[in-house]
Amino acid sequence: MALNAHLSHLAIGSPDPLVMATFYEKAMGNTIEEIDQGYLSTGPERKLLFTSGKAKELKYFAMGMTEENLDLLRDALLAKNIQLSASPSPLFDDKAFALQDPDGNWLTFGVEEKNNPRVELSARLQHFAFATNNIEEMVDFYQNTVGYLISDNVFDEDKKLKTAFLRSDNEHHSLAIFQAKEKWFDHHCYESSNWNAIRDWADHLSTFDIPLKWGPGRHGPGNNLFIFFHDPDGNWLEISAELQILPEDAPVGKWVHEPKTLNYWGQAFLRS
């Protein structure tokens, strides 16, 4: 069964949620709303919830889908005897549910239809990434328990898996998993339209003296253009464009763990 879901929103912990929400208001043009759990930061096709916690802490991630697909996924998980819990997200209704992956990360699924408004400096919340010291079990969980498809794998010279890119619809990945010495929330990414949009986002960030930390560049897996910058807690944000679209039966790609795989054009940030 194809998962047929997209990344809806993230809940991110912070020692100062209001400072984080204010930064995203400036950097991304999002609006701020105070709710019971913290501060909701919203823009066109992007939603983040900042709540009290440690810096760079992913509280949970939320995947949106149709009600029909939500029912199919719930039935499939229950048939595998997977324990489901109530959704922690205030943005989903009571049909939503949640579960934990092998690293203890919470994921929740709820009803949300995808839409595509066109606005100036649009950038849709598109994917995020974990680092883990348990990549084989994590990939197995997301592929064989939840139903993600693997688009590309990256192996080192000893043929050990270093990175997996997994998709939940026809976009190259909505989740990336990196092998590392520790577990952490690695980055979250917003998909824009094209190279000119990447330029415009870089110009926009510069007007607020927000420096780029990596890029411009082009990834190998996914073939997308990118820039990276930091928020006040040190979370990596990516603006991407032209991410590869794949058919459901696309074969899994294999890449070598080297800088050029992560950046065709120059320096790369290798997690391990």
Tens-place pLDDT, residues 71-114: 999 999 999 999 999 999 999 999 999 999 999 999 999 999 77
Cα–Cα distance, 42 to 30 (Å, whole number):
5
Helix (H) or strand (E) holding 25: helix 17-28
Q: Residue 271: what pLDDT?
A: 78
pLDDT tens, position by position, for the chain (272 residues)?
Answer: 579 999 999 999 999 999 999 999 999 999 999 999 999 999 999 999 999 999 999 999 999 999 999 999 999 999 999 999 999 999 999 999 999 999 999 999 999 977 655 556 789 999 999 999 999 999 999 999 999 999 999 999 999 999 999 999 999 999 999 999 999 999 999 999 999 999 999 999 999 999 999 999 999 999 999 999 999 999 999 999 999 999 989 999 999 999 999 999 988 887 76
The answer to whether 39 and 9 are in contact (CB under 8 A) is no
Q: Residue 113: what pLDDT?
A: 75
pTM over 0.85: yes
The answer to whether 183 and 103 are in contact (CB under 8 A) is yes
Cα–Cα distance, 159 to 181 (Å, whole number):
18
Classify the phi-psi angles of 257: left when phi > 0, otherwise alpha if psi is within -120 to 50, otherwise beta.
beta
Q: Token pair 């994917």 is at which residue?
A: 127
- 41 secondary structure, DSSP code: E
Cα–Cα distance, 105 to 84 (Å, whole number):
13
* Ordered domains of the chain (ranges, CATH): 6-111 (3.10.180.10), 124-262 (3.10.180.10)
